[in-house]
């Protein structure tokens, strides 16, 4: 894949574009996507290209509620990411947004994602960098002082189905999730004369706090570079951004001031120039390949 050096408008568009480019290289192949961190963030938009999406994330009431709302998932599983079933070399794309910094044993979890990725597949990662002033504040301030809420953007399929009609995501444990029936009664019996279905309303954007971050050592720009070298992965593209700092400031400049203060006290070791890192990583076709 050609390495494009134009900075992305936003990471969602960048990741979707790279996934579409990958799908274009496999015209007769159904694209299998692992949505790692399905309980937070949005999915990829592959347009009308046939694909199958599997979601995985940690277990919590908020993450489960959000996962159940996502009709773009074909199946999903919440629990310990060190033991969640991931068949080897099964996925063309692994999309992990705001996940690596909030899971324990992040390096082991990454190893499982890489093992589940097909040779030549893409690992798309967006994370908050622990080695920044923002990362330092995020992991040291009391949780109730955190103001780093960000808006969830409606992902592909939210509010409208992917393809001809919306689908209900099915949990991987085999229990079937049924769509809600308008006019249904608590006992399961439908109403006697259901009214005409009202027009679909757009799904509102919800502001919530991001899941608590743990920040293992690999959850940083330097940590991901080290990880890719040690695992023989190729970083095709790498960008930094200030999304979390800008969202935290909310126009007041307070977050900017705090981050600059931390950066000055640390003598630049904790940078205030960015808060997040975006990586497009390719798994080599040859498993013996190494970055030189």
Residues 113 and 34: beta-carbon distance below 8 Å:
yes
Residue 154: pLDDT over 80:
no
Q: Domains in the chain, ordered, with CATH?
A: 11-128+151-177+208-244+276-282 (3.40.50.150)
Is 70 exceeded by the pLDDT of residue 175?
Answer: no
Taking 90 as the threshold, does the pLDDT of residue 282 lie above it?
Answer: yes
Predicted confidence band at 185 (pLDDT cuts at 50, 70, 90)?
very low
The pLDDT tens digits of the residues spanning 188-246 come to 444 444 444 444 443 433 434 556 789 999 999 999 999 999 999 999 999 999 988 88
pLDDT tens per residue, range 66-105: 999 999 999 999 999 999 989 999 999 999 999 999 999 9
Per cent of the chain over pLDDT 70 is 69
What is the per-residue burial (b if ≥16 Cβ within 10 Å, else e) of 20-42? eebbeeeeeeebbbbbbbbbbbb
Rounded Cα distance between 120 and 278, Å, is 19
Arithmetic mean of pLDDT, 106-116: 97
**Which tens digit of pLDDT belongs to each residue from 126-151?**
999 999 999 999 988 876 455 444 44
Is residue 49 predicted with pLDDT exceeding 60?
A: yes
């Amino acid at each position: 894949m050609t390495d494009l050096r134009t900075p992305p408008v936003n990471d969602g568009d960048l990741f979707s574009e790279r996934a579409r480019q990958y799908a274009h290289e496999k015209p007769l192949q159904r694209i299998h996507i692992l949505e790692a961190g399905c309980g937070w963030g949005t999915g990829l938009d592959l347009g009308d290209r046939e694909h199958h999406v599997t979601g995985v994330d940690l277990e919590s009431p908020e993450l489960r509620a959000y996962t159940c709302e996502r009709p773009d998932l074909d199946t999903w599983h919440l629990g310990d990411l060190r033991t969640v079933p991931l068949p080897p070399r099964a996925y063309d794309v692994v999309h992990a947004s705001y996940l690596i910094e909030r899971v324990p044993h992040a390096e082991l979890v990454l190893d499982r994602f890489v093992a589940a990725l097909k040779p030549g597949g893409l690992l798309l990662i967006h994370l908050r960098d622990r080695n920044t002033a923002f990362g330092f504040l995020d992991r040291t301030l009391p949780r109730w002082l955190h103001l780093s809420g960000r808006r969830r953007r409606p992902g592909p399929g939210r509010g409208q189905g992917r393809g001809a009609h919306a689908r209900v995501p099915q949990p991987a444990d085999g229990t079937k999730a049924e769509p809600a029936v308008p006019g249904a009664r608590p006992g399961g019996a439908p109403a006697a004369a259901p009214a005409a279905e009202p027009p679909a309303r757009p799904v509102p954007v919800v502001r919530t706090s991001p899941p608590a971050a743990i920040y293992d050592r690999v959850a940083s720009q330097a940590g991901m570079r080290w990880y890719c070298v040690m695992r023989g992965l190729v970083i095709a593209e790498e960008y930094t951004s200030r999304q979390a700092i800008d969202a935290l400031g909310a126009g007041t400049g307070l977050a900017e001031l705090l981050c600059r203060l931390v950066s000055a006290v640390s003598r630049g070791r904790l940078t205030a120039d960015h808060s997040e890192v975006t990586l497009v990583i390719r798994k080599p076709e040859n498993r013996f390949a190494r970055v030189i």
